């Protein structure tokens, strides 16, 4: 067994000891329930860990991650996480967080056959297609990749807002709010793309309104 594998258990032991030293009841309280305010949808990149970059504690952030932080309604994993977080955990904020130097985004802009990755990366290539006129005017390759990272986050935020569970909960509670972030690996800073959630919701409801007027009135009068 490799030493790098074994050291994980040593690190866990030290972590447990430090937590108990700070608060003897830490794990008893942790085991009771979770009440996260945030749902974080991020990239699987090993350099981008939600709790660490946000400075949050266990129980404060519900997390799902995949290659290039894509929200595809045919992906049962991410949609199930979103529905559970919105309907059962009652999170107030949904964060879609991409990051510069994203390998998935770079791969999507590279004309090559990547096998099983092709259907997944097609989601990002679709973003490139939608914004091709803007992206093709950016001569610097690195800046072009960075911009696609930002545009991909914006499009994935829209995909979250399209979901019925998000629209329905917002009608009742005026939450959750959807946010788009980019993590800059070069500086360690989080960049808020300042997604205009209410405007996007209003605009897309003309097409993606999945809630009947009778349902809205019944819930508002409950």
Given the residues 23, 75, 88, 102, the one annotated as active site = 102
Phi, psi of 180 (to 5 degrees): -115, 125
**Is 196 an annotated catalytic residue?**
no
Number of residues written out for the chain: 222
Given the residues 97, 99, 146, 169, the one annotated as active site = 99
| Torsion, Cα of 147, 72, 69, 206 (10° steps) | 50
With a CB cutoff of 8 Å and minimum separation 6, the contacts of 56 are 38, 50
Give me 168's structure tokens: 């329905």
Give me 78's structure tokens: 């991410």
| Strand-strand pairing, 93-99 and 38-43 | parallel
| Strand-strand pairing, 190-192 and 177-183 | antiparallel
**Is 47 an annotated catalytic residue?**
yes
Q: How far apart are CA 104 and CA 110, in angstroms?
A: 10
**Is 102 an annotated catalytic residue?**
yes
Given the residues 23, 47, 126, 129, the one annotated as active site = 47
**Is 157 an annotated catalytic residue?**
no
CB of 102 closer than 8 Å to CB of 45: yes
**Is 144 an annotated catalytic residue?**
no
| Strand-strand pairing, 93-99 and 177-183 | parallel
The sign one gets for the Cα dihedral 45, 46, 47, 52 is positive
What residues act catalytically?
Answer: 43, 45, 47, 99, 102
């Amino acid at each position: 067994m490799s030493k790098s594998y074994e050291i994980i258990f040593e690190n866990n032991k030290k972590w447990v000891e430090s937590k108990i030293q700070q608060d003897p009841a830490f794990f008893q309280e942790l085991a009771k329930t979770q009440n996260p305010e945030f749902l974080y949808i991020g990239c699987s990149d090993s350099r981008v860990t939600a709790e660490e970059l946000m400075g949050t504690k266990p129980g404060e952030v519900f997390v799902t991650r995949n290659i290039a932080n894509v929200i595809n309604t045919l992906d049962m994993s991410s949609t199930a996480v979103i529905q559970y977080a919105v309907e059962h955990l009652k999170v107030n904020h949904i964060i879609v967080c991409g990051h510069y130097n994203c390998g998935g985004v770079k791969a999507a802009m590279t004309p090559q056959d990547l096998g099983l990755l092709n259907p997944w990366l097609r989601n990002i290539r679709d973003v490139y297609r939608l914004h091709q006129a803007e992206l093709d005017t950016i001569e610097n390759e690195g800046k072009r990749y960075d911009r696609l990272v930002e545009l991909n986050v914006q499009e994935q935020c829209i995909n979250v807002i399209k979901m019925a569970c998000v629209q329905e909960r917002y009608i009742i509670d005026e939450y959750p709010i959807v946010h788009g972030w980019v993590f800059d690996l070069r500086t360690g800073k989080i960049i808020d793309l300042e997604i205009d959630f209410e405007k996007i919701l209003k605009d897309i409801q003309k097409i993606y309104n999945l809630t009947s007027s009778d349902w809205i009135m019944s819930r508002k009068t409950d």
